[in-house]
A and B are shown apart, each in its own frame.
Chain A
Amino acid sequence: MEYDKKISLNKELQHLNNLLEEATKTLRELELQEASVPRAEQEVNFVRKLKDQKEKVEKIQNDIVQKQEELLFLDPESKKTENSKLEENTSKIRGGDTDFFVNRNRELVELSKDTCPPFIILRDPAGYGKTYLLKKLHSNFSSIGGHKSVYINFDETPQARTSIYNFLCCFLNIVDTKIRIPEGTSLAWLQNQISGNLGHFSYKNVLVIIDSLDLLSNENEVLAYIWNDFVRTLSKSLQGAQKFRVIFSGRYIESLWKGDWKHNLRKLQIGAGEGLAPFDENVVVEAIRVICERKNKHAVSDLDMEIIAREVVQVSGGNPKCIMQILNELDTLNFKINLDINSSTYYFSSEIKRKFIRDYIDPELDVILRGVSPSVREALIVLSAFRGFNSSTILALAKASFIKWSDTPSSLLTALVSETHLITGPNEQSPLFSDRIARLMLVSKLQNDNNGFDYNKITQFAIDLYKQWNAGLDVDGSTLPNRPSDQLQLFLIKEGLYHYCEWILLRKVNPVVALNEIRDYLTSQVKLLISPFGENGISDLVEQLKNKVEADAQVVSLLNKSVGYLERDQLMESL
């Protein structure tokens, strides 16, 4: 009887899910239409249709929940605790369907290099594509002879989270798929088996990947075990292999890490940046192409692909998961929607950008910024306009009322670092703080909220601020207690240039005017350079500045957009 009920419930659920898919699709189409047409011009009928559709979706969702509960009631074994439900939800958000992406080549190369340190941590927030990257690395590695790769993901093997014993069993099963683990075996036996297997002389290269470590709570015994004994076991057994590498992955894991092995850990370093880089337009174009080709249904021209890619990257801040979701939505619409009624191109209207932000960026940011207090979050949004910031930036922004923070700037910095995990401490090359993907997502939000009014104001403020600092002055015109050194001046000019380009793009200034403005800006700022070697040192500094600008991909890209590729060259020469 129960069995029959279960089958029928499952069937009903299947049906409801199909209905939900259809209804959601229709609702998205309607919402996109709504976003592209000013409210005043929308017909009454349309508004009603939209409302009805929303209600329909909600009803189906409720039905699904109800059926699921019935099913759970029938099957106590599949009844899950509240906690695990939460974990399930989390994992849904965590793992994006990133299957078709062909990116992260640089990271792959970096992780495969011989010079790569033996213990690596990947600590980026959710949605940055850690799991995809690691799985790709795992499969690449496994395919090479004499290479052994072990991949364990706490998200996929929840059982491994429950006890050290279970963890070791799961791990051993992955290491040796054929092994039969006798009942009541000891931890030592399991450890020995693992060591013996991984330490086998036939392996020239061993890779161990432990993914989704952040799913283990701070008090979890498995976590403490991994931090201490397990890394030691691995380290010992892997000493025989010519090359070995252990990768730990999970959000902010270094802040959880308590073991004494911590000093052996290295963060993944790509170029000057730390952690995973945002997706750029090229990647998105590729993604669009894959979608179009795979389903063989959309015909989008190369130019349009580029336009869409640029818009998607801009609005998503390069967050892989958000990009995926936006592309999925565009896919369901067959890329056919007229995104801007005033244009025949694929430029996104501000309404649609806001919709994407509401639907994809905001929820993702909510996850990334979970646990961040509101005041810190507000400050973070404003600070995201800057590629980096320090206590002086905070002070200046607070004075100009962009940031509401009454305590000392250092305490805000500390709060930002410890609460958001998105900011890394200062170093000598860049005495400022930075994060990339999250920053770009916040920038996207800032640019689109309030019609970008705030972003515009902050950008202008930033230009003035860097000009003042370069001149050795504070925002209020008083002399800075410590005049910036020559190297810091170069840095300030470059940052000022970044904001200047942003401002030019915000104002949609034509390239000829833009060229003059930027030239004026740079000339005036270069005049303020002070070299410890006097006049002779200045030309050397200008040369350094040119190199620094050229090496800064973001600034170069902005310059290209504002004045054009050839003119950029000319501009730098004119210095």
Chain B
Amino acid sequence: MQEKTFVGRDAEIKRVEYAVSIPASRRIFFVNGEGGIGKTRFLQEIKSRYYSFRQFANVPLVVSDLVDLANLGVYVPLNIEYAVCKNFGIHNFEKFMVARDDYAKFQTMHASVETLNQQLRICYETFVEEYNSFSSENRCVLLIDTVDIHIIESDSFVNFTQKILPQLQNSVIILAGRECISVQKRLKTLLDSDMIQLEGLKTTDAKSFFNQLGLSADLEEKLIFLTDGRPILLGLASAWMEKDIPLPVISEATLVELKSFSNEKLIALKEEFKHALIENILKLDQKDHPFILEMAHLQKRYTPEILAFIHEVSAEEAEMIVTRLSNLFFVKMLPDFVHLLHDEMRDLVRQYLWPTVDPFGVERKNLSQKVQEFYLNKILYIDSQLEKMIKEIDYSREVSDHISLLSKARTFSDIQRYKLVLASERLFYLLEQNPDQGASDLARELEKSIKQSTRDFSSILVNLAETYANKFNVDSYYKVNFQVARWKRSIGEFRDAQTILERLGEHYADNSQKQVSILQTLAITQGDLGQTRDALENLKEALRICETQKILGTIPQIKSNEGMILVSMGKIAEGVDAYNECILRCEELAIDDLAASAMNNIGYAYSILGDHESALSFCESALGRRELLGDTQAIAASHATLGSVYRDMSDFDLANLHYQHALDHFTAMDDKFWISRIRMERGLSKLLEYEEKFYRSTHRSATTVNMLRSLLDESENDIKESIALGKSYNRKELSKAIHEMGHVYWEREDLNGAEKIWKESLEVAFETNNLRYILENLVGFCELDLDRHLYSKVLNHRNALTPYFEETKESHALLWSRLAKMEGIAAFHNGDFDTAFQKFGYSFPTLAKHGGWGRYKITIELESIAGIIDSLDSIEALKWCEFLKAEWNATTVVVPDRYKRALNMFISDREIKAKRRQKPASLN
């Protein structure tokens, strides 16, 4: 069954040739048509027509091989682009390759989602840049095959078609597949493209399939009629004619009679004919019969190695068989000796042949099991290879052999990617064989890759999850989709995660256990989205279910999540209550690790509230427990919290000691996320130490000045390092780190520098959707303006913040009260005393209530308006003191007692000073 020569399609070929002949143009073709109509053959024909050209109208012409998307590997980000690079020469895409290497490196280092996304963007940009640089010197023809249902929804394909394709220049790009119409429709607004619709061959063209068979013209026409001129069926029919006996109806009825059949009968006959074709072509007495059946079943990869494993034959024999198979016209060859059946052939064999050979599916099940065994062995072998390579890479690094290091690292990540594809193919067969068992594996792998942030693998897994969604039983559907939602959340696609979780919530309304898990994850996701009220509601519902259904084991976790959300809302005291409840439940159920974590969080919350004694006690307990549990990571985290508590207590030496403890641990672990976080906190601590020491020291000796300078330098160093690491490993907190750097500049009295940095921080905050630092930076601008006495600008900045008020008035109450205070000061300087004191009346109780994120001192805040009141004449001052006293006493805000005292003392101080000003003479 040798491949027939290409026939017909003249008009279609001409369209492509014309497009290629127009210099410097970009043209995209979609080749559409049903299975077996000859789409792949069409691309091959284009390829062969231009292959020998090299030059076209004096311009070098390059035509790619078929980039076949029939592989799970295409779900991996960058793999489609990589395949294009391989076709046009890797050396033309060196920048892209380096960027891709970095992307792989980031994954092995478990970099944050933001880092990976950023790196992907860089990869795409360099790809487009280098592609266009290549195509500026070469006219390119890019051929892409198997645009199939399985691929068109995948992120990698969507990205390629929507973002990359519209940017490629001087190329004719042809995409062929069964789903071209829908893809073209989707891209309509982005991209001009042409559709080549392939129909069945015309009778005159189709006849060439039967050359030299000596068939009667009538029989030829009947065959063409029954195959609808589809080349693959014609090929089969011609091979069949050489071999066996057709259906009696074909020899007995004339063409006219066939054509007069009712539509229904004709469809049935065509089906029967297809069935007969496939069954007779692949008759059991053909020695390749079992291999073709296998290829149809093992549809992802069929290699000599797999054949040798399944049949226990030598590698040479296996290679010989596969070479023989590759001569069959319905077998296609992909890179890496992968052989696959032509899609339509595969479908026909699966539909007609397998059910008769293996009616119960037992052989196919065995085959699936066997091939999975092969994959497992292969993956184990690859693992051992990778281990060896790590040693070699380490050695190259040691001896500073950079060239070898680069090439080895690249090979390493290529092999790793290959391994992931193999692992997902194994999963594919498991899913085919037993969807529910596959679902368990899929969910487990997904969970693992969420933990390790291996984006490449999880991309494939999520696609598999979507493909098999309707084959899962109720339980498996939940298991998989729950993890998919978690994955979406982990890569920052909160809205998608929310949609999935809400859908799951509806599906599993009557399953309490699942409902609780869904509500919890949904609540955290809503927390991410700032929908804290809904989050709390959902947690409350989860709690209710747990209590009524006696699912007691989950309550502590719910409480812990509640605490986390409440604290993020600024409801610190309520957060503490939730954490306390969590601890209580943990004690009952002996859940030590969660209890320790809650204690640690309570410690942090108390520190925010300014109750440092309680904060310390909780943090110490948490540390003690964690030490007992031996969880080194948690111990180090505890030290970090303790550092922050001591910092808030202004005990900077102890703070540094704890930070160092934590830092040592994470440095040993090379956990750059935590290093970045702790260096930021320590940098902040040094900055605060500087501030405190600077403002307290009235007489500054040279030593003091040096000491202060070095403190500020140390702070800058820490924050600088935190920013450098954060760019790759902790983008979530990057805007915070940059913002703190602004404070360092301010302390150096470089207000312009500070402003510039806060602008940068604001950009990052927008990019990472970090609401808190959007506000912090905007409020920061207000502070700067205040410092520069630019009072009207303060109010302008205030107005820029207005849109965020409703959303954040609760979660960021402290910021809003600080802002109100600043508004007051600005209003005062603009002469608007009424507004000024109204703002002060509102802002201070809330400032007092919400504490100062640990070390925020109400006394310092009050200091900032002390001067204002003191600058008034005594009557005016006393009037406004009276006003403030009344406002502060009447407030509905619950102010902690010690802060109430501070407020009262402040007023009485102001009153005393005013009275002194009133009777200056009496003192004399």
Contact = CB atoms under 8 A, between A and B. Distances in A.
Interface of A: 255, 260, 262-266, 390-392, 395-396, 406-411, 413-414, 417-418, 421, 423, 425-428, 431, 469, 474, 480-484, 488
B363 A406 contact: no
Nearest to B356: A426
Contacts of B361: 480-482
Contacts of B363: 391-392, 395, 408-410
- Please name the 3 residue pairs, one residue from A and one from B, whose CB atoms are nearest each other, closest first: A481-B361, A410-B290, A417-B284
A262 B246 CA distance: 9
A427 B272 CA distance: 12
A431 B356 contact: yes
A480 B360 contact: yes
Contacts of A266: 245
A246 to B, nearest CB: 15
A480 B366 CA distance: 11
A469 B360 contact: yes
Interface stretch (B236-244, B409-417, B813-821): B236-244
The range of chain B's interface size is 35 or more
A494 B896 CA distance: 88
A395 B357 CA distance: 12
Given A260-B241, A263-B245, A414 B286 contact: yes
Nearest to B297: A410
B807 to A, nearest CB: 54
A106 B889 CA distance: 117
Contact of A431 (B215, B286, B359): B359
Contacts of A428: 356
A285 to B, nearest CB: 37
B806 to A, nearest CB: 57
B283 A425 contact: yes
A395 B355 CA distance: 16
A410 B286 CA distance: 11
Given A260-B242, A480-B362, A418 B287 contact: yes
A265 B245 CA distance: 6
Nearest to B241: A263
Contacts of A411: 290, 311
B373 interface: no
Interface in B339-371: 355-367
A484 B359 contact: yes
B90 interface: no
Given A408-B363, A410-B358, 17 more contacts: A260-B242, A263-B246, A263-B251, A392-B362, A406-B312, A408-B311, A409-B358, A409-B363, A414-B286, A417-B283, A425-B279, A425-B283, A425-B356, A426-B356, A428-B356, A481-B362, A482-B355
Contacts of B215: 260
A390 B359 contact: yes
Interface string B201-222: 0000000000001110000000
A391 B364 CA distance: 10
A231 to B, nearest CB: 11
A260 B214 contact: yes
> Looking at A263, A395, A431, which has the most chain B CB atoms within 10 Å of its CB?
A263
A413 B358 CA distance: 11
A483 B283 CA distance: 25
Contacts of A414: 284-287, 289-290
B815 to A, nearest CB: 61
Contacts of B355: 431, 482
Nearest to A119: B245
B366 A426 contact: no
B317 to A, nearest CB: 12
> Looking at B243, B294, B363, which has the most chain A CB atoms within 10 Å of its CB?
B363
A96 B901 CA distance: 125
20 contacts: A262-B241, A262-B243, A264-B245, A266-B245, A391-B358, A396-B362, A409-B363, A410-B363, A411-B290, A411-B311, A414-B286, A417-B283, A418-B285, A423-B284, A425-B279, A426-B356, A469-B360, A480-B361, A480-B362, A488-B359
Given A408-B294, A418-B287, A425-B284, A481 B365 contact: yes
Interface in B244-291: 244-246, 251, 279, 283-287, 289-290
A423 B286 CA distance: 13
A394 to B, nearest CB: 8
B573 interface: no
> Looking at B245, B246, B285, B293, which has the most chain A CB atoms within 10 Å of its CB?
B285
Contact of B360 (A260, A263, A484): A484
B486 to A, nearest CB: 31
A232 B290 CA distance: 35
Nearest to B360: A480
Given A392-B358, A480-B361, A481-B362, A417 B285 contact: yes
Contacts of A413: 284, 289-290, 357
B433 interface: yes
Nearest to B250: A263
A418 B360 CA distance: 24
B302 to A, nearest CB: 13
B1 interface: no
A408 B367 contact: yes
Contacts of A425: 279, 283-284, 356
Given A392-B363, A408-B290, A410-B290, A263 B285 contact: no
A413 B311 CA distance: 14
> Looking at B240, B289, B359, which has the most chain A CB atoms within 10 Å of its CB?
B359
A395 B362 contact: yes
Contact of B357 (A255, A264, A421, A426): A426
A263 B215 CA distance: 10
A395 B363 CA distance: 7
A425 B283 CA distance: 7
Interface string B293-304: 110000000000
Contact of A391 (B240, B243, B357): B357
Contacts of B293: 410
A474 B289 CA distance: 25
Contacts of B244: 262-263
Contacts of B312: 406-407
Contacts of B362: 391-392, 395-396, 474, 480-481
B84 to A, nearest CB: 38
A408 B289 CA distance: 12
B310 interface: yes
Interface string B354-393: 0111111111111100000000000000000000000000
A425 B241 CA distance: 18
A426 B360 CA distance: 14
Contacts of A484: 359-360
Contacts of A483: 360
A410 B361 CA distance: 12
Nearest to A475: B362
B285 A255 contact: yes
B366 to A, nearest CB: 6
A341 B514 CA distance: 79
Nearest to A480: B360
Contacts of A407: 311-312
Contacts of A423: 284
Contacts of B243: 262
Contacts of A431: 355-356, 359
B274 to A, nearest CB: 14
A120 B560 CA distance: 84
Interface in B666-706: none
Contacts of A410: 289-290, 293-294, 357-358, 363
A414 B311 CA distance: 13
A488 B286 CA distance: 27
A264 B294 CA distance: 31
Interface in B835-854: none
A427 B359 contact: no
Contacts of A427: 356
A428 B355 CA distance: 9
A264 B293 CA distance: 28
Contacts of A418: 284-287
